[in-house]
Structure 1
């Protein structure tokens, strides 16, 4: 389980349990039972699981408690708490569509081969008003083939994420991938959720031919790298791919230049610097990348100063904008941003993790060899994409000898990248 965010709420296990079990009307203004339910995912203990199950079984029908129950169900799913299955299954018959959706998702995370439970989930496909994507996804994930014909009805659903999941599931169940292009097409959908979720559906289908398309999809690099990695491993396991096949797409994704992506938005008229800077704060990274491309191509003479100003005014605390600011300073080779990139390379805050790889790429673009020792220090981390970005920048700075240290790295993608860079260099044993 990823522990990067485990201390963000500042609660001990005992405090979280006590808060979760406090009646809603007695909860103080500064406290939140929802946060307690979320935080208990960091404690895979019997006590935490008992408290979450008790919350799921609560009969309080107020909106506040329904929201807390949904989060408790989610936490039990993340904990893969098998003994919580009966309590979670009981939620499948509820009227609250979001509670049902969370219950289905949690069962998918925990896993089951119980045909009765799987059929109960499949029957939800016929329930009017229910959210169907999670149902389709879980039925495919748990290989419940008897649901195939019921899933087929959603391949043309108006809701794009549901249609994407249905196409993926049908391809997976039948072995016929003639329609998988419909999922690949969603990588270029204007709706950011459709783009993000189509990557998951391509992972589920094991369709590694989509790796280059995923690399160019304008969503956060976190989603793209996850998809590329999963599918690369699937393709290599089948002996259909080698690292040489995957490397161009992986390099493109980690480099993450906006002009190398296939953008899905466009402007009606050329925007001002101020407008483009503001777009870097959008939650739809497709808009962020369009703004970045505009800053590089139309405002390169003034963008650097504007980026440093927005960093001071807001991006330093906004992890999405922070990422784009750091990358763009590197692409612009705006030397006043060098120290900021260097500081970002070692930022310990978990929410700024992807900015560390962005900083590594930016330092390679600045071309200042003083960064080499700082880059080499990052080869000792356990963050694979940071190490990969470091190798790319060391190579760009002409420091290929330093990459030899990563030839025996614990991560296979980092090892292969180091070998690709140093193939013509002597091995230092």
Structure 2
């Protein structure tokens, strides 16, 4: 709080100011909330103050206090696009539907850049608020598929019109990875179980798909729809051989090509490289895994795919890799723990049942908690 109150020019490292705002998002005191409200209302044009304002608004979204709504609604009028985007997202995360005046204020923010339009539409969808003046309906025809996709999600979730599903499902196979990711998010907002199967095959990161999948599979009481269990398991086991990679060229079966592919920014290319590794002779699989583990083991994406492949290929010789992955406690390795949980099943690692039991009860991340629950069931 002291850092947040200090003028930027008095800090030896002005970046600490916006880090302070981020930290306060994890606090619960009334005093820290008041400071975040002050920072969120600061109209300063100073770069560090602008970033601090954005981070403070994001922190208010995580605090989920309706008291913040007046400040956030006022922030929607800012000229700084990231401030408006963060404000719309924070309003959605607080989860309190807006009154007519608040909705009017939010819909006015549609008059802005595409990222801003998308955030506003998402807020309307996530708060289940109707499109009274048809402004969102008109966005379904927007030339930018990220804007149109958000509008389709609103059409499905709020209006109950399933015609928007087809374009979103089609977009799951877009050549542009950003558009694929956007479609995954939009289908999560739409919340329809009918799209879970194509979502499970989409080559974007497992955590992003899982976040949407659990929203789609959730029953009214918070439990998982029974008919979604098998598809959720398929998605979380994340076998590259079962993903839609037909639009990509195959990764050459060489260590160098596999290494490069696993580090690509496009998850589809990462999965294609993992698939190539899985098609090698067993001795080569073991050799490549060992080499990658020693040279790229700290790369979160590579770490995850190796933990996954060890189980999918039933490489009992690399059970230690799976045990190590399950024991990783750093947040950035959470998806590796999901892969390790399923690998425990494929490798029959019953000695990990205690760890799986602990994670099934203590993990705050639903995909990991649920994976461990299901792994325990299968191991039994």
**TM-score above 0.5, yes or no:** yes
1:176 pairs, out of 161, 186, 195, with: 161
- Please give the root-mean-square deviation of Cα atoms over the aligned residues, in Å: 2.8
**How many Å apart are 1:108 and its aligned residue?**
2.0
* Higher mean displacement: 261-270 or 69-78: 261-270
Determine if the alignment matches structure 1 residue 64 to structure 2 residue 48. Answer: yes
* Higher mean displacement: 373-382 or 163-172: 373-382
Matches within 5 A, 1:142-291: 142-147=127-132, 149-234=134-219, 242-243=225-226, 245-263=227-245, 265-267=247-249, 270=252, 272-291=254-273
Determine if the alignment matches structure 1 residue 73 to structure 2 residue 73. Answer: no
Unaligned runs of 5+ in 1: 1-16, 404-429
Determine if the alignment matches structure 1 residue 306 to structure 2 residue 291. Answer: no
CA distance in 1, matches of 2:314, 2:130: 54
TM-score (norm 1): 0.79
**Partners of 2:57 and 2:72 within 8 A in 1:** yes
TM-score (norm 2): 0.88
Q: Secondary structure at the match of 1:217?
A: coil
Q: Cα distance 1:128–1:340, how it changes in 2: closer, same or farther (>3 A)?
A: closer
**Partners of 2:356 and 2:376 within 8 A in 1:** no
Larger gyration radius, structure 1 or structure 2: 1
**Partners of 1:279 and 1:287 within 8 A in 2:** yes
CA distance in 1, matches of 2:279, 2:267: 18
**How many Å apart are 1:226 and its aligned residue?**
2.5
Q: Secondary structure at the match of 1:174?
A: coil
Q: Cα distance 1:340–1:208, how it changes in 2: closer, same or farther (>3 A)?
A: same
2:9 pairs, out of 3, 14, 25, with: 25
Q: Deviations over 1:384-429 (max 9, x none)?
A: 5446545666677xx5xxx3xxxxxxxxxxxxxxxxxxxxxxxxxx
**How many Å apart are 1:323 and its aligned residue?**
0.5
CA distance in 1, matches of 2:146, 2:180: 8
CA distance in 2, matches of 1:349, 1:25: 34
**How many Å apart are 1:265 and its aligned residue?**
4.9
CA distance in 2, matches of 1:360, 1:310: 21
**How many Å apart are 1:21 and its aligned residue?**
1.8
**Partners of 1:89 and 1:117 within 8 A in 2:** yes
Structure 2 residue aligned with 1:327: 308
Matches within 5 A, 1:65-144: 65-110=49-94, 111-127=96-112, 131-144=116-129
* Higher mean displacement: 24-33 or 303-312: 24-33
**How many Å apart are 1:332 and its aligned residue?**
3.5
**Partners of 2:73 and 2:106 within 8 A in 1:** no
The number of residue pairs the alignment matches comes to 375
Structure 2 residue aligned with 1:339: 320
Q: Secondary structure at the match of 1:218?
A: coil
Unaligned runs of 5+ in 2: none
**Partners of 1:74 and 1:103 within 8 A in 2:** yes
**How many Å apart are 1:376 and its aligned residue?**
4.5
1:378 pairs, out of 353, 356, 372, with: 356
CA distance in 2, matches of 1:57, 1:257: 47
Q: Cα distance 1:141–1:394, how it changes in 2: closer, same or farther (>3 A)?
A: closer
Q: Secondary structure at the match of 1:156?
A: coil
